[in-house]
Amino acid sequence: MVDQLMPQVGIAMADVLERLGYRVDFPEEQTCCGQPAFNSGYRAEARTVARHFIDTFEQSEAVVVPSGSCASMVVHHYAELFQKEPATLSRAESLAKRVWEFSEFLTRVAGVEDVGARFEDVVTYHDGCHSLREMGIREGPRRLLARVRGLDLREMQPAEECCGFGGTFSVKFAELSGAMARTRIEAILRTGARTVVSADPSCLMQIQGVLSRAGAPVRTLHLAEVLASR
Amino acid sequence: MSRDHILHRIRTALGRSPGQAAPELPAPRIRIPLVDMESRIASFRTRLEQLAGRVHLAATPEEARAFVADAIAGKCAVASNAPYLVECGIAALPEVRSGVTDRAELRELCATMNFGITSADYILADTGTLVMISSPREARMISLLPPAHIAVVPRERILTGLDELFSLHPCPSGETSSMVLITGPSRTADIEQILVRGVHGPGEVTVVIVG
Amino acid sequence: MSIEFDRKIHKTLEDANLQLAVYTATARLKDGRTEVVSPAELPDYQELRTQAHDLKKHVMENLDSYLEEFERNVEAHGGHVVYAKDATEVADFVVGLAKERGAHLIVKGKSMTSEELDLNERLEHEGLEAVETDLGEFIVQLAHERPYHIVGPSLHKTRYDVADLFTKYLGIEREEVPEKQTAIARGVLRKKFLAADMGISGANMLVADSGAVVLVENEGNIRLTTSAPKVHIAVAGIEKLIPRAQDLAVFLKLLARSSTGQRLSVYTSILSGPRRPGEIDGPEEFYVVLLDNGRTRLLADRAKRQSLYCLRCGACLNACPVYRKIGGHSFPWVYSGPIGAILTPQFLGLGHEPALPFASSLCGACKEVCPVKIEIPELLLSLRGEVRKAEARDRKNLLERLSFRLFAWIMTHPRLYEMAGRVAAATAPSDNGAWISKVPALMNFGPLRTWLSQRDLPPAPRKSFRELWRLR
């Protein structure tokens, strides 16, 4: 999704990592983690794509992912997919230890909170549900944003609520998905923020889509884009 | 017979044989906090008052009696056969009908009196709860049918909470057909989320702690 | 999804008043819960959850043994246990007993199990009067509807709806004030309690070492139902067992908090057997009907067995962003919300509503609030896999399966993937970089069109990331 629809997010992430002294490699064989197939119940197809992911990244020292839901797929669900394939299972488990969601990599591996960013705006942060509940990522992004110069971070009330994307759910149950998104938008607008930041591209796509449709003067940005700003 | 059929299905589902015992469980999790009596009373009061219950502290049984007499003045009350109510002189108050042991008579009284007066077997401090064990001394209906309930309890019966209760009574069913934990007045919010008290049970609960 | 499911969802989403009622009612319950399980208020909360989960797991894995122990203890205290395979057997027993005792009026405490069995219908068919006594249930009974929410059966009804029902069915003058409506119900139901021949309740928990039935409530109707009539029948699923009375120190700390945000419900009753010698009131006869109705089938499925741990607290409903939009009546069966989504296919079969496991964004809020740690999202995913397997077997939904095969194929051939990306970007509509609300008619079909029905689409960037990366 980042590759095709939000390339600037990938560039931003690479910028931040390089500035921190990491060497960034982009294995060109990569395509997808397989989550869309898995969530839709097509496990065989998900396995096919997952094997490709494992092949692609097996040699990598650390895999940094600009999406909590994709990272969670690899870290938490690959084991379930390969229960009956012991060889692939052990490769998946080994790889899972080296896969990090972007904010998680910064706070837990790089051990940084201040990446030298400047971004003057009123911002609210939206937690992707997989990031929040499967990966346990909540404080990290907020601490990172707190160190961005000029950034006024406001918390939504309620702070945590699903944007309604849910993968193919957004299309299968479109009206419902839209209704859930609009409720989230109301919370966003109540903060007075002019930018919504998230570490999950799928949430960003859903939220921006609804903001745009509503003609709201609020934009969405990925956490990486904010952290790359100077 | 359905019993055998169902048990058989269960055993098949679980791969167990008839008569096979369950593996031993670790001991029940009972953690009794150390809380002094004054704090227990304060906690109970806070909790029950939050629920629109009333708490009155009486230094002596006589004070308790005076408080109750005042509360029920000009009205009518049915009292349980709790010895403590006799001890406090409450059972003998003019407005109070007590010493009833006939089920039908008691029910009739409970349905018509303004107040139901009981003692309580225990009080749970951390939740604002009265523990009522059904016995010859305490009938079920007295704390249930009348629109107002007054409980008069000596402070020694105040426990810290559920853990202490179940540590003292690991098997309530061994002693009684009914142990009821009463936490505040009866309530509902079934219509438009609007809170209404006294739906079926008493809408007013007053606890007098003595000592 | 079935037309029925789609229609019900749509109808609920369109009803602004209902949307507000459901959202605010669940918000109140949800926020209540958050406060009383917070680390400041209940520091042991996570530990208690784990304990409750482990105790339920233990009982389910040894259910036969605990049922027999329960039975022995019920009988030791003068009660009787009846096993029932299904709704018919439960009804047969109740009707049979009623006839033997010459009973005509039955009062009922709120019981989802009873709803599951459509018990009232059968009782009425046999000429018995069965009156629901929980205010919310009383209201929906008058309306001939199913409960809307496990804890708040009438949360979808306004005071005007209630006024209509009371005027029509109780023959009274119209009353629109909730406090007065409640008083009216209280008066009507009090007469029923005191005249009833039998009281039927459910059970929140069954205690094996005590032969006890545990019931929680706020109104007092369950206490009256189980104390006033001479006969008390508790109808409970076999999964309601917990091992020991002392384990209530764990379960009671979780149940009301998770359900309504109360530390304890107003009344928690631990009942066993008819009244003991010397006790002045209480029933003369005490029966526990242990119900299967498909539970043994769930028990056999190791991975999904945990669905049976459910305490029926309703916390998952209150946390679920989907339930909070579509409400209880959009669901096809008595159990709604996340727990309903996993129980319905397991009890009624996947084919009953194949789209049900997919009606979730998998946000995981339900799992986070479940007092017994049921892994609802994982179970939904598992059910989704089963639906697809069944479709493959029945050769249904072939187009979608084919699309995912294609997806898998493209995603394992990077050069194909890249090419597909370039084609899409080249043909995508442009709006000078702004988000797009309309696309040319030719492209406007299928998922794209459905997406656009609710929200705009991002503009296709001129260069993909990999193209930019190569230039770097």
Q: Indicate the residue of C361, C410, C458 with minimum beta-carbon distance to A165.
A: C361
Is C204 in contact with C235 (CB distance < 8 Å)?
no
Q: Looking at the structure, do residues C242 and C365 belong to the same domain, yes or no?
A: no
> pLDDT category, C290, cuts 50, 70, 90?
very high
- Read off the pLDDT band of C440 (50, 70, 90): confident
Q: What is the pLDDT of residue C436?
A: 80
Q: For residue B36, count CB atoms less than 10 angstroms from its CB and return exposed for 0-12, middle for 13-18, buried for 19 or more.
A: exposed
State mean pLDDT over C46-68: 98
Provide φ and ψ at A168, rounded to 5°.
-65, -15
Which residue range is the domain that position A164 belongs to? 115-228
Q: C249–B129: do the CB atoms touch at under 8 Å?
A: no
Regarding whether A126 and A221 lie in a shared domain, the answer is yes
Into how many domains does chain C fold? 3
Q: Which chains touch B (3 or more CB pairs under 8 A)?
A: C
For residue C135, list chain B residues with Cβ-Cβ distance below 8 A: 188, 190-191, 199
Do C365 and C277 lie in one domain? The reply is no
3-state DSSP of A11-76:
HHHHHHHHHCCCCCCCCCCCCCCCHHHHHCCCHHHHHHHHHHHHHHHCCCCCEEECCHHHHHHHHH
Helix (H) or strand (E) holding B1: none
Please indicate, yes or no, whether residues C385 and C435 belong to a single structural domain of this protein.
no
Q: Are both A6 and A79 inside the same structural domain?
A: yes
Do A91 and A139 fall into the same domain?
Answer: no
pLDDT digit string, tens, across residues C185-230: 999 999 999 999 999 999 999 999 999 999 999 999 999 999 999 9
Amino acid at C93: F
Weakest mean pLDDT among A209-223, C55-69, C159-173, C411-425: C411-425
Residue C273 sits in the same domain as residue C199: yes
- Residue that is last in its domain, among C331, C362, C396: C396
> Averaged over C282-301, what is the pLDDT?
97
| pTM > 0.90: yes or no | yes
Q: Which CATH class name applies to B36-210?
A: alpha beta
At A42 the pLDDT is 95
Q: Is residue C337 part of a domain?
A: yes
Q: Answer whether residue C306 is part of any domain.
A: no
Residues A91, A128 within the same domain: no
Is residue C242 located within the same domain as residue C101?
yes
Set of chain B residues whose Cβ sits within 8 Å of the Cβ of C282: 134, 140, 177-178
Grouping H, G, I as helix, E, B as strand and the rest as coil, residue C457 is: strand
C412/A49 touch (CB, cutoff 8 Å), yes or no: yes
The predicted structure's pLDDT at residue C316: 98
Three-state secondary structure call for residue C295: helix
* Same domain? A119 vs A103: no
Q: Examine the domain organization and report whether A77 and A44 are in the same domain.
A: yes
Q: What is the mean pLDDT of chain B?
A: 97
Alpha-carbon separation of residue A194 from A5, A153, A215, A217 (angstroms): 22, 11, 13, 7
Task: State whether residue B131 sits within 8 Å of chain C by CB.
Answer: no
**Which among C361, C401, C412 is the nearest to A42, CB-wise?**
C401
Whether residue C249 sits in one domain with residue C228: yes
Residues C5 and C355: beta-carbon distance below 8 Å: yes
Inter-residue contact A140 to A103 (CB < 8 Å): yes
Work out the average pLDDT over C140-154.
Answer: 93
Average confidence (pLDDT) over C254-271? 98
Q: How far is B211 from chain C (nearest CA, A)?
A: 26
* Residue B139 at interface with chain C, using a CB cutoff of 8 Å: yes
Residue C441 scores a pLDDT above 80: no
Name the domain count of chain A: 2
How far is B77 from B95, CA to CA, in rounded Å?
Answer: 6
Summarize pLDDT for A47-105 with one digit per residue, the tens.
Answer: 999 999 999 999 999 999 999 999 999 999 999 999 999 999 999 999 999 999 999 99
Is the same domain home to C85 and C217? yes
Give the whole-angstrom CA distance, residue A176 versus residue C437.
19
A-chain CB neighbours of C451 within 8 Å are: 170-171, 174, 209
Q: What is the pLDDT of residue C449?
A: 84
pLDDT tens-digit map of C327-370: 999 999 999 999 999 999 999 999 999 999 999 999 999 999 99
pLDDT for position C163: 97
Write down the pLDDT at residue C88: 95
Q: Are C324 and C31 in contact (CB under 8 A)?
A: no
Same domain, C67 and C136: yes
Nearest chain C residue to B1 by CA: give it.
Answer: C83
What pLDDT is stored for residue B82 in this prediction?
97
CATH code of C75's domain = 3.40.50.10420
Which chain C residues touch B181 with a CB distance below 8 Å?
Answer: 252, 264, 267-269
Residue C391 structural domain = 1-36+314-396
Beta-carbon separation of C322 and A176 below 8 A: yes
Residues A155 and A79 in one domain: no
B139–C281 C-beta distance less than 8 A: yes
Assess whether A50 and A78 both reside in one domain.
yes
The 10s digit of each residue's pLDDT in A162-209 is: 999 999 999 999 999 999 999 999 999 999 999 999 999 999 999 999
Q: How high is the mean pLDDT of chain C? A: 94
pLDDT at C335: 94
pLDDT tens profile B97-154: 999 999 999 999 999 999 999 999 999 999 999 999 999 999 999 999 999 999 999 9
Inter-chain residue contact C73 with B173, CB threshold 8 Å:
yes
Write down which residue in C354, C371, C396 finishes a domain: C396
CA distances from A185 to A208, B161, C433 (A): 9, 44, 22
* Per-residue pLDDT, A122: 98
CA C346, distance to chain mean position in Å, is 13
The CATH number covering residue A205 comes to 3.40.50
Task: Give the whole-angstrom CA distance, residue A112 versus residue A96.
Answer: 22
Domain boundary among C396, C420, C435: C396
The two tokens of residue C132 are 């629901």
Distance between C307 CA and the closest CA of chain B, angstroms: 15
Q: Are residues A103 and A128 in the same domain?
A: no
- What pLDDT digit, counting tens, does each position of B56-99 carry? 999 999 999 999 999 999 999 999 999 999 999 999 999 999 99
* Domain end position, chosen among A107, A134, A168: A107
